[in-house]
């Protein structure tokens, strides 16, 4: 059986600075979106949060990250 859904990648700009904070946020996001690949690039000047998967709910991701007092917005 072939999955016809396209894999999407969404990139978010955050203010996350610490590895521990990034790991905690990845764990929380993975709990909501277990089928998605989620990672941070803290070496980037925009502290990139990258989410890969089918049907990425951008607003929900922003809400979850924001609920932990971190800034998060779609990188354009």
pTM: 0.90
* pLDDT tens digit sequence for 63-74: 999 999 999 999
The top-level CATH class assigned to 8-74 is: alpha beta
Q: What is the pLDDT of residue 37?
A: 97
Range list of β-strands (E), 3-66: 8-14, 37-41, 48-53
Residues 3-53: tens digit of each pLDDT: 567 889 999 999 999 999 999 999 999 999 999 999 999 999 999 999 999
Residues 6+ apart with CB under 8 A from 34: none
Question: Which tokens is 29 given?
Answer: 């996001």
Q: Show me where the domains of the chain are located.
A: 8-74
List the one residue out of 40, 36, 43, 35 whose CA is nearest residue 12: 40
Give pLDDT, residue 1: 45
Tell whether the model's pLDDT for residue 76 goes beyond 70.
yes
Secondary structure string (H, E, C) spanning 62-76 = HHHHHCCCCCEEECC
């Amino acid at each position: 059986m072939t999955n016809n859904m396209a894999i999407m990648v969404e990139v978010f700009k955050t203010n996350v600075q610490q590895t521990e904070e990034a790991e905690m946020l990845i764990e929380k996001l993975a709990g909501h979106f277990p089928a998605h690949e989620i990672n941070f690039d803290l070496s980037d000047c925009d502290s990139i949060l990258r989410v890969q998967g089918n049907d990425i709910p951008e607003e929900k991701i922003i809400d979850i990250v924001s609920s932990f007092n971190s800034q998060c917005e779609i990188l354009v």
